[in-house]
Amino acid sequence: MLLKDLISRLSLTVIGDAYPEDAEISGIGSLQSAGSSEISFITGAKYAKQLETTNACAVIMDYGSLQSILPSELKFTILDSKNPYLSFAEATQIFKESSAEKSDGYSDFEGGYFMGKTSVKGKNTVIFPGVFIGEGCSIGDNCRIMPNAVIGNNVIIGNNVIIYPNATVYDNSKIGNGCIIHAGSVIGSDGFGYARGKTGYVKIIHTGYAELEDNVEIGANVTIDRGAVDFTKIGSGTKIDNLVQVAHNVIIGKNCAIAAQTGIAGSSEIGDNVTMGGQVGIAGHIAVGNNVMIAAQSGVSGNVKDGEIISGSPAFSIKEWRNSVVLFKKLPELFKKIKEISKTKV
Protein backbone atom coordinates (compact mmCIF):
# COMPACT_ATOMS: atom_id res chain seq x y z
CA MET A 1 0.00 0.00 0.00
CA LEU A 2 1.20 3.50 -0.78
CA LEU A 3 1.39 6.04 2.01
CA LYS A 4 -0.65 8.53 -0.02
CA ASP A 5 -3.47 6.00 -0.38
CA LEU A 6 -3.66 5.54 3.39
CA ILE A 7 -3.57 9.31 3.90
CA SER A 8 -6.44 9.73 1.47
CA ARG A 9 -8.61 7.02 3.03
CA LEU A 10 -8.08 8.36 6.56
CA SER A 11 -8.44 12.03 5.50
CA LEU A 12 -5.21 12.94 7.28
CA THR A 13 -3.20 16.15 6.86
CA VAL A 14 0.48 15.69 6.00
CA ILE A 15 3.09 17.77 7.82
CA GLY A 16 6.71 17.44 6.73
CA ASP A 17 8.30 15.43 3.96
CA ALA A 18 10.68 13.05 5.71
CA TYR A 19 9.08 10.15 3.87
CA PRO A 20 7.70 10.43 0.31
CA GLU A 21 3.96 9.98 -0.03
CA ASP A 22 4.30 7.69 -3.03
CA ALA A 23 6.47 5.22 -1.09
CA GLU A 24 5.27 1.76 -0.10
CA ILE A 25 4.27 1.08 3.52
CA SER A 26 4.04 -2.43 4.92
CA GLY A 27 2.08 -2.09 8.14
CA ILE A 28 1.61 -0.37 11.48
CA GLY A 29 3.48 -0.74 14.76
CA SER A 30 4.18 0.93 18.07
CA LEU A 31 6.67 3.78 18.23
CA GLN A 32 9.20 1.36 19.71
CA SER A 33 8.69 -1.54 17.31
CA ALA A 34 7.77 0.07 13.96
CA GLY A 35 10.23 -0.42 11.12
CA SER A 36 11.22 2.08 8.47
CA SER A 37 8.37 1.04 6.16
CA GLU A 38 5.71 1.10 8.89
CA ILE A 39 3.60 3.88 10.35
CA SER A 40 2.87 4.45 14.04
CA PHE A 41 0.76 6.71 16.27
CA ILE A 42 0.99 8.71 19.50
CA THR A 43 -1.88 9.76 21.76
CA GLY A 44 -0.18 11.68 24.57
CA ALA A 45 2.88 13.62 25.68
CA LYS A 46 4.06 10.81 27.98
CA TYR A 47 5.36 8.99 24.89
CA ALA A 48 7.47 11.97 23.76
CA LYS A 49 10.84 10.24 24.27
CA GLN A 50 9.80 7.44 21.93
CA LEU A 51 9.40 10.00 19.13
CA GLU A 52 13.15 10.66 19.33
CA THR A 53 14.08 7.02 18.72
CA THR A 54 11.26 5.64 16.56
CA ASN A 55 12.07 4.22 13.15
CA ALA A 56 8.51 4.69 11.88
CA CYS A 57 8.27 6.43 8.51
CA ALA A 58 5.16 8.36 9.56
CA VAL A 59 3.35 8.99 12.86
CA ILE A 60 -0.35 9.72 13.35
CA MET A 61 -0.84 12.43 15.98
CA ASP A 62 -2.81 15.49 16.99
CA TYR A 63 -0.24 18.00 15.80
CA GLY A 64 -1.89 20.96 17.49
CA SER A 65 -1.69 19.47 20.98
CA LEU A 66 1.67 17.68 20.62
CA GLN A 67 3.66 20.18 18.56
CA SER A 68 5.67 21.30 21.60
CA ILE A 69 7.04 17.80 22.32
CA LEU A 70 8.33 17.05 18.83
CA PRO A 71 12.06 16.38 18.36
CA SER A 72 14.05 19.26 16.91
CA GLU A 73 14.92 17.11 13.90
CA LEU A 74 12.00 15.20 12.42
CA LYS A 75 12.89 11.80 10.97
CA PHE A 76 9.28 10.91 10.17
CA THR A 77 6.32 12.44 8.38
CA ILE A 78 3.50 13.72 10.62
CA LEU A 79 -0.03 12.56 9.82
CA ASP A 80 -2.23 15.06 11.60
CA SER A 81 -5.49 13.77 13.11
CA LYS A 82 -7.88 15.22 15.68
CA ASN A 83 -8.45 11.69 16.98
CA PRO A 84 -5.20 9.72 16.55
CA TYR A 85 -6.43 6.60 18.31
CA LEU A 86 -9.47 6.39 16.03
CA SER A 87 -7.27 6.94 12.98
CA PHE A 88 -4.99 4.16 14.22
CA ALA A 89 -7.98 1.83 14.58
CA GLU A 90 -9.15 2.68 11.07
CA ALA A 91 -5.64 2.10 9.74
CA THR A 92 -5.57 -1.41 11.22
CA GLN A 93 -8.81 -2.14 9.38
CA ILE A 94 -7.33 -0.92 6.09
CA PHE A 95 -4.20 -3.04 6.50
CA LYS A 96 -6.34 -6.07 7.30
CA GLU A 97 -8.38 -5.50 4.12
CA SER A 98 -5.19 -5.21 2.09
CA SER A 99 -3.88 -8.48 3.52
CA ALA A 100 -7.18 -10.27 2.90
CA GLU A 101 -7.15 -9.22 -0.76
CA LYS A 102 -3.89 -11.12 -1.23
CA SER A 103 -4.99 -14.26 0.64
CA ASP A 104 -7.24 -14.89 3.62
CA GLY A 105 -5.08 -17.88 4.51
CA TYR A 106 -8.13 -20.00 5.32
CA SER A 107 -9.79 -21.34 2.20
CA ASP A 108 -7.37 -24.27 1.80
CA PHE A 109 -8.42 -25.75 5.15
CA GLU A 110 -12.10 -26.41 4.46
CA GLY A 111 -13.40 -29.94 5.01
CA GLY A 112 -13.56 -32.58 7.72
CA TYR A 113 -16.52 -31.09 9.54
CA PHE A 114 -20.07 -32.31 10.23
CA MET A 115 -23.10 -30.25 9.19
CA GLY A 116 -26.71 -31.38 9.55
CA LYS A 117 -28.54 -32.22 6.33
CA THR A 118 -31.07 -29.43 6.84
CA SER A 119 -28.43 -26.77 7.52
CA VAL A 120 -27.12 -24.40 4.84
CA LYS A 121 -24.09 -22.15 4.45
CA GLY A 122 -23.58 -19.12 2.23
CA LYS A 123 -21.04 -18.18 -0.41
CA ASN A 124 -17.35 -18.04 0.45
CA THR A 125 -17.95 -19.39 3.94
CA VAL A 126 -15.15 -21.62 5.22
CA ILE A 127 -15.80 -24.30 7.84
CA PHE A 128 -12.69 -25.87 9.37
CA PRO A 129 -12.05 -29.49 10.34
CA GLY A 130 -13.62 -30.67 13.57
CA VAL A 131 -16.58 -28.28 13.49
CA PHE A 132 -20.02 -29.64 14.41
CA ILE A 133 -23.14 -27.92 13.07
CA GLY A 134 -26.57 -29.25 14.00
CA GLU A 135 -29.81 -29.34 12.04
CA GLY A 136 -31.79 -26.38 10.75
CA CYS A 137 -28.93 -23.88 10.84
CA SER A 138 -28.44 -20.99 8.45
CA ILE A 139 -24.92 -19.60 8.05
CA GLY A 140 -24.44 -16.51 5.89
CA ASP A 141 -21.79 -15.48 3.37
CA ASN A 142 -18.08 -14.93 4.03
CA CYS A 143 -18.06 -16.59 7.45
CA ARG A 144 -15.15 -18.40 9.10
CA ILE A 145 -15.99 -21.21 11.54
CA MET A 146 -12.71 -22.31 13.14
CA PRO A 147 -11.69 -25.83 14.30
CA ASN A 148 -13.73 -27.60 16.96
CA ALA A 149 -16.41 -24.94 17.20
CA VAL A 150 -19.84 -26.37 18.03
CA ILE A 151 -23.05 -24.89 16.66
CA GLY A 152 -26.32 -26.38 17.89
CA ASN A 153 -29.64 -26.80 16.13
CA ASN A 154 -31.64 -23.99 14.51
CA VAL A 155 -28.89 -21.39 14.88
CA ILE A 156 -29.00 -18.35 12.60
CA ILE A 157 -25.65 -16.78 11.73
CA GLY A 158 -25.39 -13.67 9.53
CA ASN A 159 -22.75 -12.64 7.01
CA ASN A 160 -19.06 -11.96 7.70
CA VAL A 161 -19.05 -13.74 11.06
CA ILE A 162 -15.90 -15.23 12.61
CA ILE A 163 -16.20 -17.96 15.24
CA TYR A 164 -12.83 -18.94 16.70
CA PRO A 165 -11.76 -22.42 17.88
CA ASN A 166 -13.64 -24.25 20.63
CA ALA A 167 -16.44 -21.70 20.85
CA THR A 168 -19.94 -23.08 21.42
CA VAL A 169 -23.21 -21.64 20.14
CA TYR A 170 -26.22 -23.37 21.67
CA ASP A 171 -29.55 -24.22 20.00
CA ASN A 172 -31.74 -21.40 18.65
CA SER A 173 -29.12 -18.68 19.11
CA LYS A 174 -29.01 -15.75 16.68
CA ILE A 175 -25.72 -14.20 15.58
CA GLY A 176 -25.89 -10.97 13.55
CA ASN A 177 -23.75 -9.76 10.67
CA GLY A 178 -20.10 -8.98 11.33
CA CYS A 179 -19.94 -10.60 14.76
CA ILE A 180 -16.73 -12.06 16.18
CA ILE A 181 -16.78 -14.77 18.84
CA HIS A 182 -13.37 -15.60 20.29
CA ALA A 183 -12.03 -18.96 21.44
CA GLY A 184 -13.73 -20.80 24.26
CA SER A 185 -16.79 -18.57 24.53
CA VAL A 186 -20.26 -20.00 25.05
CA ILE A 187 -23.38 -18.38 23.63
CA GLY A 188 -26.82 -19.54 24.78
CA SER A 189 -26.04 -21.88 27.69
CA ASP A 190 -28.61 -22.48 30.43
CA GLY A 191 -28.93 -19.72 33.00
CA PHE A 192 -28.52 -20.17 36.74
CA GLY A 193 -32.21 -20.82 37.36
CA TYR A 194 -33.52 -23.13 40.09
CA ALA A 195 -36.55 -23.27 42.38
CA ARG A 196 -36.06 -24.43 45.97
CA GLY A 197 -38.12 -27.53 46.76
CA LYS A 198 -38.54 -29.61 49.90
CA THR A 199 -35.73 -31.97 48.93
CA GLY A 200 -33.46 -29.59 47.04
CA TYR A 201 -33.31 -27.45 43.95
CA VAL A 202 -35.54 -28.00 40.92
CA LYS A 203 -33.97 -26.92 37.64
CA ILE A 204 -35.84 -24.40 35.50
CA ILE A 205 -35.67 -25.58 31.91
CA HIS A 206 -34.52 -22.65 29.80
CA THR A 207 -36.56 -22.46 26.60
CA GLY A 208 -35.43 -19.00 25.46
CA TYR A 209 -32.45 -18.04 23.31
CA ALA A 210 -29.45 -15.73 23.11
CA GLU A 211 -29.01 -13.10 20.43
CA LEU A 212 -26.05 -11.03 19.30
CA GLU A 213 -27.03 -8.12 17.06
CA ASP A 214 -24.76 -6.88 14.26
CA ASN A 215 -21.05 -6.13 14.81
CA VAL A 216 -20.84 -7.49 18.34
CA GLU A 217 -17.44 -8.80 19.43
CA ILE A 218 -17.20 -11.37 22.20
CA GLY A 219 -13.80 -11.95 23.85
CA ALA A 220 -12.33 -15.30 24.88
CA ASN A 221 -14.05 -17.47 27.50
CA VAL A 222 -17.16 -15.31 27.78
CA THR A 223 -20.45 -16.92 28.81
CA ILE A 224 -23.80 -15.54 27.68
CA ASP A 225 -26.79 -17.47 29.01
CA ARG A 226 -30.00 -17.99 27.08
CA GLY A 227 -33.24 -16.49 28.33
CA ALA A 228 -35.34 -18.58 30.69
CA VAL A 229 -38.46 -18.22 28.55
CA ASP A 230 -37.64 -15.11 26.50
CA PHE A 231 -34.19 -14.00 25.33
CA THR A 232 -30.83 -12.57 26.31
CA LYS A 233 -29.74 -9.85 23.88
CA ILE A 234 -26.48 -8.02 23.18
CA GLY A 235 -27.05 -4.81 21.19
CA SER A 236 -25.31 -3.94 17.94
CA GLY A 237 -21.76 -2.64 18.13
CA THR A 238 -21.21 -3.77 21.72
CA LYS A 239 -17.75 -5.10 22.64
CA ILE A 240 -17.31 -7.59 25.49
CA ASP A 241 -13.87 -8.40 26.89
CA ASN A 242 -12.59 -11.80 28.04
CA LEU A 243 -14.07 -13.70 31.00
CA VAL A 244 -17.37 -11.83 31.24
CA GLN A 245 -20.56 -13.50 32.49
CA VAL A 246 -23.94 -12.34 31.16
CA ALA A 247 -26.83 -14.10 32.88
CA HIS A 248 -30.25 -15.11 31.56
CA ASN A 249 -32.71 -12.48 30.32
CA VAL A 250 -30.14 -9.68 30.40
CA ILE A 251 -30.52 -7.01 27.73
CA ILE A 252 -27.44 -4.98 26.84
CA GLY A 253 -27.84 -1.94 24.59
CA LYS A 254 -25.90 -0.73 21.58
CA ASN A 255 -22.22 0.29 21.49
CA CYS A 256 -21.40 -0.71 25.05
CA ALA A 257 -17.86 -1.61 26.19
CA ILE A 258 -17.59 -4.16 28.99
CA ALA A 259 -14.15 -5.01 30.40
CA ALA A 260 -12.88 -8.35 31.67
CA GLN A 261 -14.28 -10.30 34.63
CA THR A 262 -17.49 -8.31 34.79
CA GLY A 263 -20.61 -10.18 35.86
CA ILE A 264 -24.17 -9.11 35.04
CA ALA A 265 -26.89 -10.92 36.98
CA GLY A 266 -30.19 -12.07 35.52
CA SER A 267 -32.92 -9.87 34.06
CA SER A 268 -30.97 -6.61 34.29
CA GLU A 269 -31.16 -4.08 31.47
CA ILE A 270 -28.14 -2.07 30.34
CA GLY A 271 -28.69 1.00 28.13
CA ASP A 272 -26.78 2.22 25.09
CA ASN A 273 -23.17 3.51 25.16
CA VAL A 274 -22.45 2.15 28.63
CA THR A 275 -18.82 1.63 29.68
CA MET A 276 -17.87 -0.83 32.44
CA GLY A 277 -14.37 -1.26 33.84
CA GLY A 278 -12.98 -4.63 34.85
CA GLN A 279 -14.55 -6.74 37.60
CA VAL A 280 -17.78 -4.76 37.76
CA GLY A 281 -20.69 -6.58 39.37
CA ILE A 282 -24.26 -5.76 38.32
CA ALA A 283 -27.06 -7.06 40.54
CA GLY A 284 -30.09 -8.74 39.03
CA HIS A 285 -33.36 -7.08 38.02
CA ILE A 286 -31.98 -3.53 37.85
CA ALA A 287 -31.79 -0.94 35.07
CA VAL A 288 -28.65 0.94 34.02
CA GLY A 289 -29.38 3.96 31.81
CA ASN A 290 -27.73 5.23 28.64
CA ASN A 291 -24.24 6.79 28.53
CA VAL A 292 -23.32 5.49 31.98
CA MET A 293 -19.69 4.93 33.04
CA ILE A 294 -18.94 2.42 35.80
CA ALA A 295 -15.44 2.31 37.30
CA ALA A 296 -13.55 -0.96 37.77
CA GLN A 297 -14.53 -3.23 40.68
CA SER A 298 -17.76 -1.35 41.30
CA GLY A 299 -20.74 -3.19 42.75
CA VAL A 300 -24.00 -1.88 41.29
CA SER A 301 -26.96 -2.84 43.47
CA GLY A 302 -29.64 -0.43 42.26
CA ASN A 303 -30.88 1.45 39.21
CA VAL A 304 -28.54 3.95 37.54
CA LYS A 305 -29.80 7.06 35.73
CA ASP A 306 -28.69 8.18 32.27
CA GLY A 307 -25.25 9.79 32.10
CA GLU A 308 -24.12 8.91 35.62
CA ILE A 309 -20.47 8.12 36.39
CA ILE A 310 -20.26 5.81 39.38
CA SER A 311 -17.69 3.92 41.44
CA GLY A 312 -17.37 1.88 44.62
CA SER A 313 -19.21 -1.00 46.22
CA PRO A 314 -22.02 -0.25 46.59
CA ALA A 315 -21.53 2.13 43.68
CA PHE A 316 -22.49 5.81 43.81
CA SER A 317 -21.41 9.11 42.23
CA ILE A 318 -17.69 8.94 41.47
CA LYS A 319 -17.20 12.50 42.74
CA GLU A 320 -18.70 11.59 46.10
CA TRP A 321 -16.80 8.30 46.08
CA ARG A 322 -13.47 10.09 45.63
CA ASN A 323 -14.27 12.42 48.52
CA SER A 324 -15.18 9.39 50.62
CA VAL A 325 -11.87 7.69 49.80
CA VAL A 326 -9.99 10.78 50.99
CA LEU A 327 -11.91 10.69 54.28
CA PHE A 328 -11.42 6.94 54.59
CA LYS A 329 -7.65 7.36 54.42
CA LYS A 330 -7.85 9.94 57.20
CA LEU A 331 -9.90 7.74 59.56
CA PRO A 332 -6.92 6.52 61.65
CA GLU A 333 -5.78 10.11 62.17
CA LEU A 334 -9.31 11.29 62.98
CA PHE A 335 -9.85 8.37 65.36
CA LYS A 336 -6.62 9.21 67.16
CA LYS A 337 -7.74 12.83 67.59
CA ILE A 338 -11.14 11.75 68.88
CA LYS A 339 -9.46 9.51 71.47
CA GLU A 340 -7.27 12.41 72.58
CA ILE A 341 -10.26 14.72 72.84
CA SER A 342 -12.23 12.13 74.82
CA LYS A 343 -9.39 11.91 77.35
CA THR A 344 -9.37 15.67 77.86
CA LYS A 345 -11.36 16.78 80.90
CA VAL A 346 -13.82 19.56 80.26
From the list 302, 324, 327, the residue with the least C-alpha distance to 315 is 302
Where are the strands (E) in 247-286, listed by range? 251-252, 257-258, 263-264, 269-270, 275-276, 281-282
Measured CA to CA, the distance from residue 151 to residue 168 in angstroms comes to 6
Helix (H) or strand (E) holding 85: helix 84-102
Measured CA to CA, the distance from residue 92 to residue 34 in angstroms comes to 14
Given its phi and psi angles, is residue 100 left (phi above 0), alpha (psi -120 to 50 degrees) or beta?
A: alpha
On whether the CB atoms of residues 307 and 289 are closer than 8 A, the answer is yes
In sequence order, the 6+-apart residues with CB closer than 8 A to the CB of 55 are 34, 35, 36
**Given 182, 206, 248, 285, which residue is catalytic?**
248
From the list 165, 163, 168, the residue with the least C-alpha distance to 151 is 168
Active site residue 206: no
User: Percentage helix, strand, coil, to 5, in the chain?
Assistant: 20, 25, 50
On whether the CB atoms of residues 42 and 66 are closer than 8 A, the answer is yes
From the list 318, 176, 204, the residue with the least C-alpha distance to 266 is 204
300 bridge partner residues: 282
N-term to C-term CA, the chain: 84
138 bridge partner residues: 120, 156
Question: What positions carry a catalytic annotation?
Answer: 248
